[in-house]
Structure 1
Amino acid sequence: MSTHGDGDTPNMHDVTSALEYWPSPPPWGWTADDLDHLPSDGPNGEPGFFKHVELIDGALVFMSPQKRFHERVISGLRYGLNTQVPAHLITITQMDVKLGHRTRPCPDVLVIDTAADHDDRTFYTPDEVHLVVEVVSPESEDRDRKSKPPRYAEAGIVHFWRVEAKDGRPVVYVYELDPATKAYALTGIHHGKLSVPVPFQIDIDLDELPR
């Protein structure tokens, strides 16, 4: 086992030694920084094994392949938001947000500071994020509805949207951070049309998202 200089503390960034315990986590646990050092292939040579992985409370979460609805909504929202976003902000998709030492989710859509938009980035920090959007799929229901929102709120991300499918159409649940409780409050449920004044004026036809 690799250690720091004192010989007692496991090297949190040595994923080679961490993978020796696979499929169990290493005794010292996974950290947010480990995701930058995971190989693309799995411990037994599985191609692309670690390509789509999040870290939630120290546990690696593997994301399933997207359904067409999921991909269409992500692409459509990115396009719609970027046609209206002010110059100091930009919309990106499927990039990590480092919420803490052991939590690094990968939201479907993010609105971030344009100043933070560098090609060498692998994650963003909560202070750079203005809006997080999660598009719910069958395998991500509990994470997107229950696990992730409180963590985004605790990190101080003011705006959160959850997108659900109803009869093949997107429904957007819009939340805003209550500064008194540090929890999200539901401010609207949007069918067909989405119109909100924050984090900037947004008007999107949900039934006519670009395909």
Structure 2
Amino acid sequence: MTAAAVPPSSDRWSGPDLWRQRLGNYTVEDVLSLPDDAPRVELRDGVMIVVPSPTFGHQKISTLLWHWLRQQAPRKLEPSIATGVIVGPDQTFEPDVLLLVAETINFESHYATAEQVSLVVEVVSPSTRRRDRLEKPVYYAEAGIPHYWRIEQNPVHVYAYDLVDGRYELVAESAEELVLAKPFELRLRVRDITP
């Protein structure tokens, strides 16, 4: 018995074209047209970057926060995980948790536009420190996303920012209880999202 090679399907993920990668000329349209079996990617200045799988602790914080938001957020806001955000013609990000404006959601899409996002949350891991702390907030702010949370691990500590005059300003931070008026009135006990 011999094994014959299976010809590749035209709709299977085969990775980005290396020449276009070098040029950095991929667009949001290219990302949106990826097949369903493609891995999660972020588009950074026209270059497709495969997003690595998060650690167990990272996932646990994200899912606990999603569950908490699902229970606490008003019906006009819908929490989401594994939804990409389009922040520019050659920029997409894969934040850990989103709070979307419910009436704008396309339930068939893997991506949201910045206008659909009320809150974006990044859980910081060793491999994402620089991007989550310094780079992504700049793009989220430029796209006009009104609220940004950064969650540090070990110990879990939440930093909440509001968009003011095109930049994020820290409005609250806590390792115990986060109290905010926006995006809705909330009291988040940090232990409720701690693995």
TM-score in same-fold range (> 0.5): yes
Per-residue deviation, residues 114-173 of structure 1 (Å, max 9, x unmatched): 11233211211111110000011111111111111000001111100001112xx31111
1:38 aligns with 2:46: no
Paired-residue identity, %? 30
TM (norm. structure 1) is 0.79
Any idea what SS the aligned residue of 2:162 has?
Answer: strand
Q: Tell me, yes or no, if the aligned pair for 2:172 and 2:179 is still in contact at 8 Å.
A: no
TM-score, with length taken from structure 2? 0.85
CA distance in 2 between partners of 1:162 and 1:110 (Å): 12
Match in the other structure for 1:47: none
CA distance, structure 1, for counterparts of residue 168 and residue 35 of structure 2: 36
Residue 111 (str. 1) matches residue 107 (str. 2): no
Counterpart Cα distance in 1 of 2:22 and 2:40: 20
1:176 aligns with 2:165: no
Q: Are the aligned partners of 1:81 and 1:202 in contact in 2 as well (CA < 8 Å)?
A: no
Q: 1:116–1:210: structure 2 CA closer, same or farther, 3 Å change rule?
A: farther
Q: How far apart, CA to CA, are the structure 1 residues paired with 2:158 and 2:49?
A: 24
Q: Report the count of equivalent residues.
A: 184
Q: Unpaired segments of 5 or more residues in structure 2? A: 1-10
For the structure 1 residues 83 and 21, does the alpha-carbon distance in structure 2 shift closer, same or farther, using more than 3 Å as the test?
closer
Query: What SS class does the counterpart of residue 78 from structure 1 fall into?
Result: helix
State the Cα deviation string for residues 44-103 of structure 1 (Å, max 9, x = none): xxxxxx412111221222222211111111001111111111111111112011111100
Q: Counterpart of 1:140?
A: 128
1:23 to partner: Cα distance:
6.9
Cα RMSD, aligned residues only: 2.4
Q: Does the Cα contact within 8 Å between 2:156 and 2:194 map onto a contact in 1? A: no
